[in-house]
Chain A
Amino acid sequence: MYWNKTRECMPREEIEAHQLHKLKETVDRVYHNVESYRHKMQQRGLLPEDIKSLEDLRILPFTTKQDLRDNYPTGLFASPLSEIIRIHASSGTTGKPTVVGYTRRDISNWAELVARCLVMGGGRRDSVVQVSYGYGLFTGGLGFHYGAEKLGAVVIPTSGGNTRRQVMLMKDLKTEILACTPSYALYIAETMNEMGIDRSELSLKTGIFGAEPWTENMRNEIQAKLGIKALDIYGLSEVIGPGVACECGEQEGLHIFEDYFIPEIIDPVTEEPLPPGEKGELVITTIDKEGLPVIRYRTRDITSINYEPCACGRTHARIEKLLGRTDDMLIIRGVNVFPSQIESVLMAAGETEPHYLLIVDRVDNLDSLEVWVEVSEKLFADEVRKLEDVRQKIASDIYTTLGISVNVKLVEPHTIERSEGKAKRVIDKRKM
């Protein structure tokens, strides 16, 4: 079953012809509508007409998250705000998230992509889909919501949290497809256990899980505990959100929708392209996006690409399950966290040179983040209440900035190991 057989099963030559045509359009669009892209191209003496083949993509400069920050909030938008109908944002440094914008057409295309993913997971018009990704600025909830509506499924927009109620609805409304983070899926399984509900009482068939890295072991565990097929979905808000790539029932790599995106795998250091099968950084160019097209966006995610035909009949290339990053970004309960963001919160709290350590763990299948902060003379107060206030203030500032709750632990000075002047900032105890 396919959502859009013509597009999903296009022969390779047709994919490439389509990509070249759309790439030219996109380069032309950003050159004429976005100052930053035009400036970068002019610096290299490039004009939109210089893109004559797909190989010419390589002469274009990369785009990074820093470019989005430098052009905060809407400087990279290629459509006037009158055309934009939706904003999403990912966590950024203190008070400055990465803002992305969608036109009506972008929202419709995004729904098309998510609908394809749902069909890969066996979704039909009469399927019941429970969306347990967070709704709001995060792309997970609304992205799935619109995709499931496009499919014509029955959408249950539970968002995250209140797990017992989620299980009750899942049972009573006979949910077939569950969309959430893989760790939340395991948490749901545990909650079912506590409630004395057996998986045979549910109608669940498929889970479409993403927004955080997960291993094959975790997949096996989820599949066994929920009695479902667990598919991996990939996406990032800078590109569009969930639905950039998704596993089909074969579970042998994620089909990246090549009629909307051109993937490249590069060596993150030399920035040279790598051949299929070799691990490197995934770089994505959007070729059918109006609001915020990105040219050669550095995802910092590590994977490899496979152009071999897939048993499912889809012709779009597959990327390997994503597990690593080229930078220090952590994904905690689906939220992107950079240690530098925590650092800026601590600096704002009055610590000029904060010594801190982030301890990431997975307790009862939920990610936990503990922030150790060394108590300096300046932070120290004689009263327990004041020290508790310091702890709570730091925790609430982190919550405000990143949207995740953390446990702040005050520790004595010099507790946190320093090596060659640069302190170790992160201990990740999760077994990936």
Chain B
Amino acid sequence: MFVKQISVFLENKPGRLSEITRVLSEKNIDISAISIADTTQFGILRMIVNKPKEAVDAIKEAGFPVSTTDVLAVEVADRPGGLNNALQVLRQAGVSVEYLYSFIKRSEDKALILFRVEDPRKAVEALKSAGIKLYGSDEIASL
């Protein structure tokens, strides 16, 4: 029910992000979602890729601190109110969202949003019982 997200520590200096994309492109790894959390000093790059294991090894080898995190891939209708629907469910369940970002690809008239929540189990339960579709790693890969 979870999707593996790769997080990388990047210092705020020129060329760091392109170093990661260089490493991944050399290994022929596809990035399907990407976001950066930035502070005045450093950034955390978060990505969903088609080959997480290989990606982690390659980034590690390039000398960056890297970790993997489970996130939720939530399907929402790509129209006004679509995201709101999912967030209202989480709100009612009392689950707070740490961060979210969206997928680059989409399926038909649906958008895919990646959620990192405080209590993943509770979130999955609430979203499922509200009839909201969650994607697993395999489904993501076949998009």
- List the interface of chain A (C-beta within 8 A of B): 375-377, 379-384, 387-388, 409-415
Contacts and interface: CB of A to CB of B under 8 A. Distances in A.
Given A377-B65, A412-B11, A413-B63, A388 B39 contact: yes
A411 B37 CA distance: 16
Interface in B33-60: 37, 39, 41-42, 44, 46
A376 to B, nearest CB: 7
16 contacts: A375-B9, A375-B42, A380-B9, A381-B67, A382-B7, A382-B44, A382-B46, A382-B67, A383-B99, A384-B37, A384-B44, A387-B44, A409-B41, A412-B9, A412-B10, A412-B64
B98 interface: yes
Contacts of A411: 11
Contacts of B98: 383
Nearest to A378: B65
Given A375-B9, A377-B66, 8 more contacts: A375-B42, A382-B7, A382-B46, A387-B9, A388-B39, A409-B41, A414-B63, A415-B11
A258 B35 CA distance: 68
Contact of B67 (A380, A409, A415): A380
B30 to A, nearest CB: 21
A367 B65 CA distance: 32
Interface residues of B, number: 21
Given A376-B65, A380-B65, A387-B44, A410 B37 contact: no
A410 B99 CA distance: 22
B69 interface: yes
**A-B pairs with the 6 shortest C-beta distances?**
A380-B65, A382-B7, A382-B69, A375-B65, A412-B11, A375-B9
A47 B7 CA distance: 68
A63 B98 CA distance: 56
Given A377-B67, A380-B65, A380-B67, A410 B44 contact: no
State the majority secondary structure of interface residues on B: strand
Nearest to A409: B41
B11 A380 contact: no
Contacts of A410: 9, 11, 41-42
A interface SS class: loop
B140 to A, nearest CB: 18
A412 B39 contact: no
A390 to B, nearest CB: 11
A380 B42 contact: no
B63 A412 contact: yes
Contact of A387 (B42, B66, B69): B42
Contact of A384 (B10, B11, B39, B69): B39
Contacts of A388: 39
A387 B116 CA distance: 16
A407 to B, nearest CB: 9
B58 to A, nearest CB: 15
Most buried by A among B41, B67, B98: B41
Contacts of B37: 384
Contacts of A381: 67
Contacts of B99: 383
B49 to A, nearest CB: 15
B92 to A, nearest CB: 24
Interface in B61-75: 63-67, 69
A381 B68 CA distance: 9
Nearest to A377: B65
Contacts of B10: 412
B11 to A, nearest CB: 5
B45 to A, nearest CB: 10
Interface in B1-50: 5, 7, 9-11, 16, 37, 39, 41-42, 44, 46
A409 B16 CA distance: 17
B11 A379 contact: no
Query: Which has the most chain B C-beta neighbours within 10 Å: A377, A382, A410, A412?
Result: A382
A222 to B, nearest CB: 34
Contacts of B7: 380, 382
Nearest to A407: B41
Contacts of B66: 377, 380
A413 B16 CA distance: 13
A377 B59 CA distance: 12
A415 B99 CA distance: 29
Interface in B89-127: 98-99, 116
A214 to B, nearest CB: 31
A409 B116 CA distance: 26
Contacts of B46: 382
B55 to A, nearest CB: 15
Nearest to A415: B11
Contacts of A414: 63
Contacts of A412: 9-11, 16, 63-65
A411 B16 CA distance: 12
Contacts of A415: 11
Nearest to A388: B39
Contacts of A376: 65
B67 A413 contact: no
A414 B98 CA distance: 30
The residue among A376, A384, A388 with the most chain B CB atoms within 10 A of its own CB is: A384
